[in-house]
Structure formats: structure tokens, C-alpha cells
Amino acid sequence: MKVQISSGRGPRECELAVGLYLEVFRGRHPKAALISSQGEWTHRLGGRPVQAYKSLTLEVPETEAVKEGRVKWVCPSPLRPHHGRKNWFIEVAVVRAEGLAPAIQGAGLDPDRPDKRLLRIETFRSPGQGGQNVNKVETGVRVVHLPSGLTATSVTARTQGQNKKLALSRLAALIETHNQTRENQMTEAGWRQHDQLIRGQAFAVFLGPEFKAEGGVDYAKQRN
């Protein structure tokens, strides 16, 4: 699953909090992988460099429980010394896109070794151009990807083997387009959540430039 840690429309102090909380999140989810980020920059905080982000997205194993909600950082602004505000909020949320189609694996499309468990390859007489074999032998090829139902066809080449390669190539392009569309939908869903950040009660509170948990709570080990 994809998890977004976001500053919403908050100021740059909130972006610092995103980077600081990333360290806590990784302590709790060591298998989490950072897959994308927005608005990355660096600031020295308490004598150490801290990566800040407007938002970031991580891939977390589906079997892990992710704590969702708001995180509060209580600290005088390290960027605006005379600024009166000291409470900064970020949000942690699992990215959900309603009606999202599953991703499609593109393996098994090698024309020399097509995976018959995933593909159905049909041949037929080509109705179009292609030389003297047209309408005499089955040079046309249709490839059906069984798990998804995606289909690609080729009749433009002179031989069945060439059309097979073209059909498999077209099928690979269809799968890539499907997965890219799905990824775009996930990104859009993440940005909708990014913009819906509401300041309020937080499930975790951290204090000062050291980003120490309030009351000594170890959020990296705390269970939901």
C-alpha cells in the first residue's frame, strides 16, 4: 500500500515536520520504501541537516498496520525567529483511490517464450495487405492477456511470426498504459488527501528541534 506524509497547505515549518516524522515512520516500518516526494529541500536544525518535504509517498507492505491521522510538532519556528506560532501539523494517510483497477504484471510477453498460462495466442487469415500469403494462410495474430482481458492484434506483417512479435509489443504497450493510468489516479488521490489536511487533534506530538516525543512515548514501537 501507498502511504502519504503531507504538510497539506501548511508553511515550510510543516514541511520540516514531514522530514522529521519520516525518521520516526521508518523506525516503525523499516521495510517502507520512499517512492516519490514533492518540494524537497534541506535545513540545518539543532546542528544537523534535515530533509524537508511538501509531501512524500512510501510503499509499505500490506500486512503492516499504519497509524493514520495528524501529527503535531510543537517548536518555535526555526525559519522565522520572531514568528509567534509554535504548533505545526502534518498528516499521515493511506492513499485510497475508489474503483482503482489492479496493476497488471507485464511478464511473459517474450515472443520467443510467451507464457501460455497468461496468454492466449490466436491466428487467423489477414484481410489486409501483406503479400501473396494474405487470405491464404493464417498470418494474422491476436494475443489475449488472460488475467486482464487486454487484447492486441497485428495483421500488417507478411508472416505469422512477425505479426506475433508486433501483437505482443502492442500488448506490452497497453499494459504499460494501464499501469501508468493507475499510477496517475493514485497520485491524484494522494493530492486530494494532501489538500484535505485539517488541523486538530493529533495522534502523536513531538517537541522542539530534537523532535522528541511528548511524554517519552516511543511512536516507532507503539501499536495501533
Residue 89 belongs to a domain: yes
Give the largest Cα separation in the chain, rounded. Answer: 85
What pLDDT score does 86 carry?
Answer: 95
What pLDDT score does 194 carry?
Answer: 55
Write out pLDDT tens, residues 54-106. Answer: 999 999 998 999 988 899 999 999 999 889 899 999 999 888 765 667 778 87
How far CA 175 is from CA of 2, 104, 115, 120, 212, in Å, comes to 21, 6, 15, 15, 46
How far CA 5 is from CA of 8, 27, 212, in Å, comes to 9, 15, 18
Residue 77 belongs to a domain: yes
Residue 221 belongs to a domain: no
Residue 139 belongs to a domain: no
Number of domains in the chain: 1
- Tell me how far apart the alpha carbons of residues 67 and 82 are, in angstroms, rounded to a whole number: 34
Residue 133 belongs to a domain: no
With contact defined as beta carbons under 8 Å apart, do 119 and 107 qualify? Answer: no
Task: Give the structural domain span for 70.
Answer: 2-100+197-216
Residue 138 belongs to a domain: no
Write out pLDDT tens, residues 155-212. Answer: 999 899 999 999 999 999 999 898 888 777 777 766 666 555 555 688 999 999 999 9
What pLDDT score does 224 carry?
Answer: 44
Residue 29 belongs to a domain: yes
Output the domain CATH number for residue 6: 3.30.70
Residue 128 belongs to a domain: no
Contacts of 47 (CB under 8 A, 6+ apart): none
